[in-house]
Amino acid sequence: MNVKLKASIVGAAAALALATAPATAIARDTISIVGSSTVYPFATTVAERFGRGGNPTPKIESTGSGGGLKLFCQGVGTDTPDITNASRRMKKSEFEQCQSNGIKDITEVVIGYDGIVMANSAKATHIDLTLRDIFLALAKEVPDPKGGEKLVPNPYKTWKEVNSSLPDTKIEVLGPPPTSGTRDAFNELAIEGGCKTFDWLKAIKDEDKNKYKAICRSIREDGAYVEAGENDNLIVQKLVSNPNALGVFGYSFLDQNRGKVQGAKINGVAPAMEVIASGEYPVSRSLYFYVKKAHVGVVPGIEGYIKEFTSERAWGPEGYLVDKGMIPLPDDKRAEMAKQAQGLASMTGSEL
Protein backbone atom coordinates (compact mmCIF):
# COMPACT_ATOMS: atom_id res chain seq x y z
CA MET A 1 0.00 0.00 0.00
CA ASN A 2 1.19 3.54 -0.79
CA VAL A 3 2.79 4.98 2.39
CA LYS A 4 0.93 8.31 2.15
CA LEU A 5 -2.36 6.52 1.57
CA LYS A 6 -1.70 4.22 4.53
CA ALA A 7 -0.87 7.20 6.74
CA SER A 8 -4.04 9.00 5.72
CA ILE A 9 -6.13 5.91 6.48
CA VAL A 10 -4.55 5.58 9.94
CA GLY A 11 -5.15 9.28 10.61
CA ALA A 12 -8.75 9.01 9.41
CA ALA A 13 -9.32 6.01 11.66
CA ALA A 14 -8.02 7.92 14.67
CA ALA A 15 -10.19 10.92 13.82
CA LEU A 16 -13.22 8.65 13.37
CA ALA A 17 -12.57 7.02 16.75
CA LEU A 18 -12.51 10.44 18.39
CA ALA A 19 -15.52 11.66 16.45
CA THR A 20 -17.57 8.65 17.57
CA ALA A 21 -16.47 9.01 21.22
CA PRO A 22 -19.10 9.97 23.84
CA ALA A 23 -21.00 13.18 23.23
CA THR A 24 -19.39 14.72 26.30
CA ALA A 25 -16.05 14.82 24.47
CA ILE A 26 -15.01 18.27 23.34
CA ALA A 27 -12.30 19.35 20.95
CA ARG A 28 -9.13 20.67 22.60
CA ASP A 29 -5.75 21.89 21.48
CA THR A 30 -3.91 21.23 24.76
CA ILE A 31 -2.31 17.89 25.60
CA SER A 32 -3.87 16.22 28.66
CA ILE A 33 -1.47 14.29 30.92
CA VAL A 34 -2.24 12.50 34.20
CA GLY A 35 -0.51 10.03 36.51
CA SER A 36 2.43 9.60 38.84
CA SER A 37 3.35 12.23 41.44
CA THR A 38 6.99 11.08 41.10
CA VAL A 39 7.07 11.73 37.34
CA TYR A 40 5.01 14.94 37.72
CA PRO A 41 7.95 17.35 38.31
CA PHE A 42 9.81 15.93 35.29
CA ALA A 43 6.74 16.10 33.05
CA THR A 44 5.91 19.68 34.12
CA THR A 45 9.48 20.77 33.38
CA VAL A 46 9.27 19.28 29.86
CA ALA A 47 5.80 20.80 29.38
CA GLU A 48 7.06 24.27 30.33
CA ARG A 49 9.97 24.00 27.87
CA PHE A 50 7.60 22.73 25.21
CA GLY A 51 5.23 25.64 25.88
CA ARG A 52 8.06 28.17 25.60
CA GLY A 53 8.63 26.88 22.07
CA GLY A 54 5.34 28.40 20.93
CA ASN A 55 3.09 25.40 21.69
CA PRO A 56 0.13 25.29 24.08
CA THR A 57 1.57 24.14 27.43
CA PRO A 58 0.25 20.64 28.25
CA LYS A 59 -2.10 20.33 31.22
CA ILE A 60 -0.68 17.88 33.80
CA GLU A 61 -2.49 16.43 36.81
CA SER A 62 -0.86 14.45 39.62
CA THR A 63 -3.32 11.59 40.17
CA GLY A 64 -0.96 8.76 41.15
CA SER A 65 0.11 5.99 38.77
CA GLY A 66 -2.92 3.77 39.40
CA GLY A 67 -5.35 6.67 39.19
CA GLY A 68 -3.75 7.91 35.98
CA LEU A 69 -3.89 4.52 34.28
CA LYS A 70 -7.55 4.17 35.29
CA LEU A 71 -8.36 7.51 33.62
CA PHE A 72 -6.16 6.74 30.60
CA CYS A 73 -7.85 3.36 30.03
CA GLN A 74 -11.41 4.73 30.09
CA GLY A 75 -11.46 4.95 26.30
CA VAL A 76 -10.59 6.96 23.20
CA GLY A 77 -11.85 10.53 23.00
CA THR A 78 -10.80 14.04 23.94
CA ASP A 79 -12.52 13.72 27.32
CA THR A 80 -9.82 11.17 28.24
CA PRO A 81 -6.07 11.75 28.77
CA ASP A 82 -3.56 11.53 25.92
CA ILE A 83 -0.62 10.47 28.10
CA THR A 84 -0.27 8.98 31.57
CA ASN A 85 2.88 8.97 33.70
CA ALA A 86 3.75 6.01 35.93
CA SER A 87 6.35 5.20 38.54
CA ARG A 88 5.81 1.50 37.90
CA ARG A 89 5.10 -0.53 34.79
CA MET A 90 1.54 -0.89 33.52
CA LYS A 91 -0.07 -4.06 34.86
CA LYS A 92 -1.39 -6.77 32.54
CA SER A 93 -4.89 -6.14 33.91
CA GLU A 94 -4.60 -2.43 33.07
CA PHE A 95 -3.44 -3.19 29.52
CA GLU A 96 -6.43 -5.53 29.10
CA GLN A 97 -8.77 -2.83 30.47
CA CYS A 98 -7.41 -0.38 27.89
CA GLN A 99 -7.89 -2.94 25.11
CA SER A 100 -11.46 -3.74 26.15
CA ASN A 101 -12.27 0.00 26.08
CA GLY A 102 -11.04 0.39 22.51
CA ILE A 103 -7.50 1.62 23.18
CA LYS A 104 -5.69 -0.76 20.86
CA ASP A 105 -2.39 1.07 20.36
CA ILE A 106 -0.32 2.24 23.34
CA THR A 107 3.32 3.33 23.27
CA GLU A 108 5.37 2.61 26.39
CA VAL A 109 8.36 4.85 27.15
CA VAL A 110 10.89 4.16 29.93
CA ILE A 111 12.24 7.62 30.81
CA GLY A 112 14.79 6.96 33.55
CA TYR A 113 15.33 5.58 37.03
CA ASP A 114 14.32 6.61 40.51
CA GLY A 115 15.01 5.29 43.98
CA ILE A 116 12.45 5.15 46.75
CA VAL A 117 13.86 6.65 49.91
CA MET A 118 12.97 6.53 53.57
CA ALA A 119 13.92 9.91 54.93
CA ASN A 120 13.64 11.97 58.09
CA SER A 121 14.28 15.56 59.14
CA ALA A 122 17.85 16.74 58.61
CA LYS A 123 17.75 17.82 62.28
CA ALA A 124 16.97 14.28 63.46
CA THR A 125 19.34 11.36 64.08
CA HIS A 126 20.40 9.72 60.83
CA ILE A 127 18.98 6.21 60.58
CA ASP A 128 20.39 3.05 58.94
CA LEU A 129 17.81 0.40 58.06
CA THR A 130 17.82 -3.06 56.55
CA LEU A 131 15.03 -4.40 54.35
CA ARG A 132 14.21 -6.77 57.24
CA ASP A 133 13.84 -3.78 59.60
CA ILE A 134 11.40 -2.14 57.17
CA PHE A 135 9.33 -5.33 56.83
CA LEU A 136 9.16 -5.90 60.59
CA ALA A 137 8.23 -2.26 61.25
CA LEU A 138 5.55 -1.88 58.59
CA ALA A 139 4.11 -5.26 57.53
CA LYS A 140 0.56 -6.09 58.57
CA GLU A 141 1.63 -9.49 59.93
CA VAL A 142 5.12 -10.50 61.03
CA PRO A 143 6.85 -13.60 62.41
CA ASP A 144 6.02 -14.13 66.09
CA PRO A 145 8.76 -12.43 68.18
CA LYS A 146 8.51 -15.42 70.56
CA GLY A 147 9.83 -17.66 67.78
CA GLY A 148 8.54 -20.40 65.50
CA GLU A 149 7.12 -20.27 61.98
CA LYS A 150 3.99 -18.40 62.94
CA LEU A 151 2.60 -15.00 61.90
CA VAL A 152 1.03 -12.53 64.32
CA PRO A 153 -0.50 -9.04 63.89
CA ASN A 154 2.38 -6.56 63.95
CA PRO A 155 3.16 -5.91 67.65
CA TYR A 156 6.05 -3.46 67.22
CA LYS A 157 5.53 0.06 68.56
CA THR A 158 9.09 1.45 68.40
CA TRP A 159 12.07 1.08 66.08
CA LYS A 160 14.14 -0.23 69.01
CA GLU A 161 11.70 -3.14 69.41
CA VAL A 162 12.32 -4.04 65.76
CA ASN A 163 16.11 -3.83 66.05
CA SER A 164 17.97 -3.01 69.28
CA SER A 165 20.46 -0.83 67.36
CA LEU A 166 17.69 1.54 66.18
CA PRO A 167 16.36 4.60 68.09
CA ASP A 168 13.78 4.19 70.83
CA THR A 169 11.19 6.25 68.95
CA LYS A 170 7.65 5.44 67.90
CA ILE A 171 7.24 3.87 64.45
CA GLU A 172 5.58 6.64 62.43
CA VAL A 173 5.98 6.52 58.66
CA LEU A 174 4.28 8.93 56.25
CA GLY A 175 3.84 7.51 52.77
CA PRO A 176 1.75 7.30 49.62
CA PRO A 177 -1.71 5.67 49.29
CA PRO A 178 -2.50 2.42 47.42
CA THR A 179 -3.21 4.31 44.15
CA SER A 180 0.44 5.41 44.03
CA GLY A 181 3.09 3.69 41.92
CA THR A 182 5.58 4.59 44.64
CA ARG A 183 3.48 2.60 47.12
CA ASP A 184 3.32 -0.39 44.74
CA ALA A 185 7.07 -0.32 44.21
CA PHE A 186 7.79 0.20 47.92
CA ASN A 187 5.61 -2.80 48.80
CA GLU A 188 7.38 -4.98 46.25
CA LEU A 189 10.98 -3.83 46.71
CA ALA A 190 11.15 -2.91 50.40
CA ILE A 191 8.38 -4.78 52.26
CA GLU A 192 8.66 -7.96 50.17
CA GLY A 193 12.44 -7.51 50.06
CA GLY A 194 12.51 -7.77 53.85
CA CYS A 195 9.94 -10.57 53.94
CA LYS A 196 12.17 -12.72 51.71
CA THR A 197 14.96 -12.61 54.30
CA PHE A 198 12.90 -15.17 56.26
CA ASP A 199 13.47 -18.45 54.41
CA TRP A 200 10.18 -19.99 55.55
CA LEU A 201 8.20 -17.00 54.25
CA LYS A 202 10.14 -16.97 50.97
CA ALA A 203 9.25 -20.66 50.50
CA ILE A 204 5.51 -19.85 50.53
CA LYS A 205 5.92 -18.23 47.07
CA ASP A 206 6.41 -21.65 45.44
CA GLU A 207 3.38 -23.10 47.23
CA ASP A 208 0.83 -20.26 46.99
CA LYS A 209 1.73 -16.99 45.22
CA ASN A 210 -1.43 -15.18 46.34
CA LYS A 211 -0.85 -16.08 49.99
CA TYR A 212 2.79 -15.01 49.65
CA LYS A 213 1.82 -11.60 48.22
CA ALA A 214 -0.81 -11.10 50.92
CA ILE A 215 1.84 -11.65 53.59
CA CYS A 216 4.83 -9.99 51.94
CA ARG A 217 3.21 -6.89 50.41
CA SER A 218 0.62 -5.85 53.00
CA ILE A 219 1.19 -2.76 55.15
CA ARG A 220 -0.18 -2.42 58.68
CA GLU A 221 -3.30 -0.30 59.20
CA ASP A 222 -3.03 0.52 62.91
CA GLY A 223 -1.67 4.05 62.53
CA ALA A 224 2.07 3.32 62.32
CA TYR A 225 1.91 3.91 58.54
CA VAL A 226 0.08 7.12 57.67
CA GLU A 227 -1.25 7.60 54.13
CA ALA A 228 -0.23 11.16 53.28
CA GLY A 229 -1.77 11.51 49.79
CA GLU A 230 -0.13 11.93 46.40
CA ASN A 231 1.71 15.15 47.29
CA ASP A 232 5.32 14.21 48.09
CA ASN A 233 6.19 17.82 48.94
CA LEU A 234 3.58 17.67 51.71
CA ILE A 235 5.37 14.65 53.21
CA VAL A 236 8.65 16.62 53.19
CA GLN A 237 6.93 19.52 55.02
CA LYS A 238 5.51 17.15 57.65
CA LEU A 239 8.94 15.58 58.25
CA VAL A 240 10.45 19.02 58.86
CA SER A 241 7.82 19.70 61.54
CA ASN A 242 8.01 16.18 63.07
CA PRO A 243 11.64 15.01 63.55
CA ASN A 244 10.52 11.60 64.89
CA ALA A 245 8.68 10.60 61.71
CA LEU A 246 10.04 8.95 58.57
CA GLY A 247 8.68 9.52 55.06
CA VAL A 248 8.54 7.40 51.90
CA PHE A 249 8.95 9.17 48.52
CA GLY A 250 10.99 9.28 45.32
CA TYR A 251 14.70 10.16 45.31
CA SER A 252 14.11 13.33 43.29
CA PHE A 253 12.20 14.89 46.23
CA LEU A 254 15.12 14.09 48.52
CA ASP A 255 17.49 15.63 45.99
CA GLN A 256 15.39 18.79 45.75
CA ASN A 257 15.08 19.16 49.54
CA ARG A 258 18.61 18.56 50.82
CA GLY A 259 19.10 20.56 53.98
CA LYS A 260 15.52 19.85 55.03
CA VAL A 261 15.51 16.03 54.96
CA GLN A 262 18.09 13.21 54.84
CA GLY A 263 17.82 9.76 53.31
CA ALA A 264 18.29 6.62 55.41
CA LYS A 265 20.83 4.03 54.35
CA ILE A 266 19.12 0.80 53.30
CA ASN A 267 21.18 -2.39 53.60
CA GLY A 268 24.18 -0.12 54.14
CA VAL A 269 23.71 1.86 50.90
CA ALA A 270 22.86 5.57 50.96
CA PRO A 271 20.52 6.79 48.18
CA ALA A 272 22.51 8.48 45.39
CA MET A 273 22.21 8.74 41.61
CA GLU A 274 25.09 6.37 40.83
CA VAL A 275 23.94 3.49 43.06
CA ILE A 276 20.31 3.84 41.97
CA ALA A 277 21.33 3.69 38.29
CA SER A 278 23.57 0.66 38.92
CA GLY A 279 20.91 -1.17 40.95
CA GLU A 280 23.17 -1.35 44.03
CA TYR A 281 20.64 0.67 46.02
CA PRO A 282 18.01 -1.97 46.90
CA VAL A 283 14.87 0.13 46.37
CA SER A 284 15.34 1.28 42.75
CA ARG A 285 12.75 1.31 39.94
CA SER A 286 12.11 2.51 36.37
CA LEU A 287 9.84 5.45 35.47
CA TYR A 288 7.44 5.47 32.50
CA PHE A 289 4.91 7.30 30.43
CA TYR A 290 2.27 5.82 28.12
CA VAL A 291 0.87 7.42 24.96
CA LYS A 292 -2.58 6.85 23.43
CA LYS A 293 -1.76 6.61 19.72
CA ALA A 294 -5.34 7.26 18.58
CA HIS A 295 -4.97 10.84 19.87
CA VAL A 296 -1.75 11.56 17.95
CA GLY A 297 -2.48 13.84 15.02
CA VAL A 298 -5.88 14.73 16.49
CA VAL A 299 -4.83 16.54 19.66
CA PRO A 300 -2.00 18.77 18.37
CA GLY A 301 1.49 18.66 19.81
CA ILE A 302 1.72 15.11 21.18
CA GLU A 303 4.57 14.09 18.87
CA GLY A 304 6.42 17.33 19.62
CA TYR A 305 6.08 16.80 23.38
CA ILE A 306 7.42 13.23 23.07
CA LYS A 307 10.32 14.47 20.96
CA GLU A 308 11.17 17.12 23.58
CA PHE A 309 10.98 14.65 26.48
CA THR A 310 13.19 12.11 24.70
CA SER A 311 15.76 14.65 23.49
CA GLU A 312 19.30 14.57 24.85
CA ARG A 313 18.90 18.14 26.13
CA ALA A 314 16.06 16.86 28.36
CA TRP A 315 16.82 13.31 29.51
CA GLY A 316 20.51 12.96 28.62
CA PRO A 317 23.30 12.79 31.25
CA GLU A 318 23.74 16.57 31.04
CA GLY A 319 20.05 17.28 30.43
CA TYR A 320 17.78 19.60 32.34
CA LEU A 321 15.82 16.68 33.90
CA VAL A 322 18.98 15.49 35.68
CA ASP A 323 18.96 18.86 37.47
CA LYS A 324 15.49 17.91 38.74
CA GLY A 325 16.76 14.62 40.15
CA MET A 326 15.92 12.16 37.37
CA ILE A 327 18.51 9.42 36.85
CA PRO A 328 19.15 8.89 33.12
CA LEU A 329 19.09 5.58 31.28
CA PRO A 330 22.38 4.20 29.89
CA ASP A 331 23.28 5.61 26.44
CA ASP A 332 22.23 2.51 24.46
CA LYS A 333 18.93 2.12 26.33
CA ARG A 334 18.19 5.84 25.91
CA ALA A 335 18.78 5.65 22.14
CA GLU A 336 16.53 2.58 21.90
CA MET A 337 13.77 4.27 23.90
CA ALA A 338 13.98 7.52 21.89
CA LYS A 339 13.50 5.51 18.69
CA GLN A 340 10.60 3.55 20.21
CA ALA A 341 8.93 6.70 21.56
CA GLN A 342 9.33 8.89 18.49
CA GLY A 343 8.29 6.01 16.22
CA LEU A 344 5.21 5.40 18.43
CA ALA A 345 5.86 1.65 18.63
CA SER A 346 2.82 -0.21 19.97
CA MET A 347 2.86 -2.50 22.98
CA THR A 348 1.69 -6.07 22.42
CA GLY A 349 0.96 -6.89 26.06
CA SER A 350 3.40 -9.82 25.99
CA GLU A 351 6.07 -7.61 27.59
CA LEU A 352 4.01 -7.26 30.79
pLDDT beyond 90 at 262: yes
At residue 2, φ and ψ (nearest 5 deg) are: -55, 130
pLDDT digits (tens, 9 = 90+) for 298-335: 999 999 999 999 999 999 999 999 988 899 999 999 99
pLDDT attached to residue 26: 58
Q: What is the pTM of this model?
A: 0.79
The rounded mean pLDDT for the chain is 91
Q: What is the DSSP string of 264-301?
A: PEETTB---HHHHHHT-SSSEEEEEEEEEGGGBTTBTT
Q: Is the pLDDT of residue 8 over 70?
A: no
Q: Is the pLDDT of residue 6 over 70?
A: no
Given a cut of 80, whether residue 288 has pLDDT beyond it is: yes
Residue 321: the pLDDT is 95
Average pLDDT for 245-269: 94
Find residue 128's DSSP bridge partners: 265
The whole-number average pLDDT for the span 46-69 is: 96
Rounded-to-integer distance, Cα 287 and Cα 275, Å: 16
Q: Is 13 exposed, middle or buried (0-12, 13-18, 19+ CB in 10 A)?
A: exposed
